[in-house]
Structure 1
Amino acid sequence: MGASKQTNGLVYCFRKTHSYIGFKKGYNFVLWFIFAGALLGFVLARLQYLSIDDKFRVGASPGEWYWLRHGFRKVGITLHLATILPAGILVIFQFVPIIRHKVLIFHRISGYVVMSLLLLSNIGALMIARRSFGGTLETQVLIGVLAIMSTLGISLAYYNIKRLQIDQHRAWMLRTWFYAASIITLRIIMIISSKILTRIGGYYRAMPCDEIAFLLDNQTQFETSYPQCFVANGTIDGWIALPARFDRNAAQIGNSLGLTFGTAGWLALFMHAVGVEIYLRLTPRESERLRVVSYQRQLEAGFGHAGSAGLTVDRLGDADMWQPPKEAPI
Structure 2
Amino acid sequence: MDKILIIGACGQLGTELTQRLRELKGTENVIASDLRDEPIKLIADGPYEKLDIMDKDAFHAILGRYNIKQVYHLAAVLSAKGEQNPQFAWKLNMESLLLVLEAGRDRLNKIYWPSSIAVFGPDTPKENTPQNTVMSPNTVYGISKLAGERWCEYYFEKYGVDVRSLRYPGLIGYKALPGGGTTDYAVDIFHKAIAGDDYECFLSENTMLPMMYMDDAVKATIDLMETDAANVKVRSSYNLAAMSFTPKEIASEIQKHYPDFKITYKPDFRQKIADSWPGSIDDSAARNNWGWQHNFGLKELTNTMIANLKDTIVFD
Pairwise same-fold verdict (TM > 0.5): no
TM-score computed with the length of structure 1 as normaliser: 0.27
TM-score computed with the length of structure 2 as normaliser: 0.28
- Asked which structure has the greater CA Rg, the reply is 1
Which one scores higher on RCO, CA 8 angstroms, separation ≥ 6?
2
